[in-house]
Structure 1
């Protein structure tokens, strides 16, 4: 057992300095060597240090029964069994060892980060991640794996997809030195595929999605196989291989119909709508977006439901059906008013199209000062491109040619860098 890491972990957790812990037992310099595993002290010294920290020197947790319960909890989280995960979490918290034992506490906190993300408590997950990060120098390889996995997920939920992919690749590097179960290996590949897709690394996304799909199919996991097909469909759609994209979407449709998964059907219809829009089949696009909206219940997030409404607003405005556009704007506002989630981004979208329809003279100013900076900060490049093109036209009509050119150049630069944007992910 690595006594030094345990001592340092609990010392930091309790807010003690090395001088305070070592006082009257050993020198602070000698404690530093113990904590860094540079020396092995006498058992009597360790017993005194443990006693000062309120720890049981003879405790061993690497094969503790609670570790099995923690892994059971983690599996519930990965497979999004929310109610079961909530119940087991409360049981784990009640167990003294979970919070007082170094080894168990680290795993509990690392798994809790992912549980918070599952519950969409992103900022709380970020705070938990910052707290556990201070103990990283006490981690073994298994802890490092889950730490980097959690780090990648936190970055993903905070919208930094490139950083997410890099951190998940770090987790993959640690995975070779620990024993992962098949369901964890497939989960890692899927998360890599998801983050790579959002970071516009299409080849890496397709490779990892195929790896995950192979394992899920071997496990006869239809739901997760369908998730992989959705991701593959999005990536092939970005490559304009629409036949391959639709092939994957139709496979999802078959699976989701068989498993009665309305959430996945909602995603399929949404992404088919994206393809039809790109191909200029606007009636088909509208029909699929409306189907998507009708299926997005239960598991769908506020963002996912609004995404369908936004696409209906965008498509109807684009083809000049302004009365229909107004209707979808109104429906979007009603929906946003019914939720307690942060809706600032969604409301900016609706404000823009309301102003465009009403020919509001302050539209360009709103786009310049509010909308475009907001989407730049969020790194939502497709909306930066879209609204730069709109403001460029508005500024040109106002004969502000220099400013118009600046926004047009920004849109072109982003288009060259992110030419494959589109599609909705899980």
Structure 2
């Protein structure tokens, strides 16, 4: 980190203006030149400035110690080792604080953003990221790399996938200057692949997922390898190459079983259910979805709801309407049991409301829900596949009522929404 950036960062963290920091030591214009790396102060001036700022630059073993601890903590977060990250948090915080090093303070604050995201504290991570943003102009490229990477992850957790992708791309541009370990490159490539998948850029997703897979295999990281295989399966499914997608799911399943990762096994079984449903192998699809729910027993609510919704849909496709109704009621039960379940998971409230009405006989409530709530909601969220599905349901409803003008309108809308999905 350049000396000027270091001084500026120390001043900003102390909450001092240039006038306050320079008072009685040097002129404001000279301090400005120092902070812009246009002048190098004498040792006496530098000592006075650091005394004013109350922070000393770490050197030797102290600096090496906090850096090693911070990166070790960070690696547990990348590996999603929640308990290990919790155990290291306080030790790393104290070490960075006791080092009295401005760089240590910044790196701790950056990693703290990632830590809060690991704990699913999105609001806390947002506040922590804002505090770093205030010092952004004084950060060096290595710090900015982590800033953009973690901001991208924050946006991803907030379902702002376009914003997340832009942040990851900024991090990628900053990563070229510094030699990074394979697991770090694999992590960024995987996050880029995830965002490309969410924005339906299939070919970019394939490219980054394959890069992340090669790096993860070289690091013998079976969990990340499994995650990459799952992403590749999703890409091939969207390209219509179902057999290739199944092959990647089976490879992911093998890797997940080797590390006994129930979260990943739940995701794999869900994707296998989707693929078998596309092949109209409904009995196998149902079995995979039910297996997924077993693995997801202790998973977050949204992870269970997406599989229950898929189970409803595959039962409807197989014309097993009683079983579909049972799955709908299970979804409702889980929403009602969770605190603020319907409000915090509003999309699933809509999904299960639609299928409850569809399976019980439609009617005006079904029409109002689709027309005035569900279709506009999923359009706003750019979830075009769901919006297109429900537009088609509404078109079918109007066709049965012989309201052919309305039916034609919603059939057209369904086609337009599917085209939007393909263009993303």
Q: Please, what TM-score do these two structures have when normalized by structure 1?
A: 0.89
SS in 1 for 2:170: helix
2:315 corresponds to which residue?
Answer: 316
1:191-218 deviation digits (Å, cap 9, x = unpaired)? 2222212221111111122112222222
Indicate which of 332, 339, 355 corresponds to 2:357. 355
Distance 1:363 1:63 in 2: 64
Q: How many residue pairs are counted as aligned between the two chains?
A: 419
2:231 corresponds to which residue?
Answer: 231
Q: Larger deviation: 45-54 or 71-80?
A: 45-54
2:119 corresponds to which residue?
Answer: 119
Q: How does 1:296-375 map to 2 (within 5 A)?
A: 296-298=296-298, 300-340=299-339, 342-358=344-360, 359-375=362-378
SS in 2 for 1:362: helix
Distance 1:314 1:98 in 2: 57
Distance 2:329 2:193 in 1: 36
Q: Larger deviation: 60-69 or 160-169?
A: 60-69
1:128 aligns with 2:131: no
Distance 1:398 1:414 in 2: 24
When residues 104 and 369 of structure 1 are mapped into structure 2, their CA distance, relative to the original with a 3 A threshold, is: farther
In 2, are the aligned partners of 1:316 and 1:324 still within 8 Å (CA)?
Answer: yes
Distance 1:395 1:234 in 2: 33
Distance 2:205 2:233 in 1: 11
SS in 1 for 2:349: helix
When residues 322 and 223 of structure 1 are mapped into structure 2, their CA distance, relative to the original with a 3 A threshold, is: same
Distance 2:331 2:21 in 1: 58
SS in 2 for 1:180: coil
Q: How does 1:32-47 map to 2 (within 5 A)?
A: 32-47=32-47
In 2, are the aligned partners of 1:6 and 1:102 still within 8 Å (CA)?
Answer: yes
1:424 corresponds to which residue?
Answer: none
In 1, are the aligned partners of 2:229 and 2:252 still within 8 Å (CA)?
Answer: yes
2:94 corresponds to which residue?
Answer: 94
Per the TM alignment, residue 55 of structure 1 is displaced from its structure 2 partner at its CA by 2.3
Q: Larger deviation: 46-55 or 168-177?
A: 46-55
1:390 corresponds to which residue?
Answer: 393
Per the TM alignment, residue 417 of structure 1 is displaced from its structure 2 partner at its CA by 2.9
2:73 corresponds to which residue?
Answer: 73
2:265 corresponds to which residue?
Answer: 265
1:84-133 deviation digits (Å, cap 9, x = unpaired)? 10111121223353795321122112222222222112232222222212
Per the TM alignment, residue 399 of structure 1 is displaced from its structure 2 partner at its CA by 7.2
Per the TM alignment, residue 367 of structure 1 is displaced from its structure 2 partner at its CA by 2.6
In 2, are the aligned partners of 1:92 and 1:98 still within 8 Å (CA)?
Answer: no
SS in 1 for 2:55: coil
Distance 1:420 1:329 in 2: 32
2:193 corresponds to which residue?
Answer: 193
Which structure 1 residue ranges, 5 or more long, are not aligned? 422-426
Per the TM alignment, residue 223 of structure 1 is displaced from its structure 2 partner at its CA by 2.3
In 2, are the aligned partners of 1:197 and 1:205 still within 8 Å (CA)?
Answer: yes
Q: Please, what TM-score do these two structures have when normalized by structure 2?
A: 0.89
In 2, are the aligned partners of 1:269 and 1:288 still within 8 Å (CA)?
Answer: yes
Q: How does 1:115-194 map to 2 (within 5 A)?
A: 115-194=115-194
Q: Larger deviation: 134-143 or 340-349?
A: 340-349
Per the TM alignment, residue 319 of structure 1 is displaced from its structure 2 partner at its CA by 4.1
Q: Larger deviation: 306-315 or 363-372?
A: 363-372
Q: Larger deviation: 333-342 or 269-278?
A: 333-342
Distance 2:142 2:336 in 1: 44
When residues 313 and 53 of structure 1 are mapped into structure 2, their CA distance, relative to the original with a 3 A threshold, is: same
- Greater per-residue helix proportion: 2
Q: Could you say what the CA RMSD is over the residues aligned between the two structures, in angstroms?
A: 2.7
Distance 2:208 2:295 in 1: 28
When residues 339 and 99 of structure 1 are mapped into structure 2, their CA distance, relative to the original with a 3 A threshold, is: farther
In 2, are the aligned partners of 1:292 and 1:308 still within 8 Å (CA)?
Answer: yes
In 2, are the aligned partners of 1:93 and 1:99 still within 8 Å (CA)?
Answer: no
Per the TM alignment, residue 414 of structure 1 is displaced from its structure 2 partner at its CA by 2.5
Per the TM alignment, residue 402 of structure 1 is displaced from its structure 2 partner at its CA by 6.5
Distance 1:64 1:386 in 2: 56
Distance 2:123 2:333 in 1: 26
Distance 1:248 1:265 in 2: 13
SS in 1 for 2:364: coil
1:82 aligns with 2:85: no
Per the TM alignment, residue 235 of structure 1 is displaced from its structure 2 partner at its CA by 0.8
Q: Which has the higher contact order (CA 8 A, sep 6+)?
A: 1
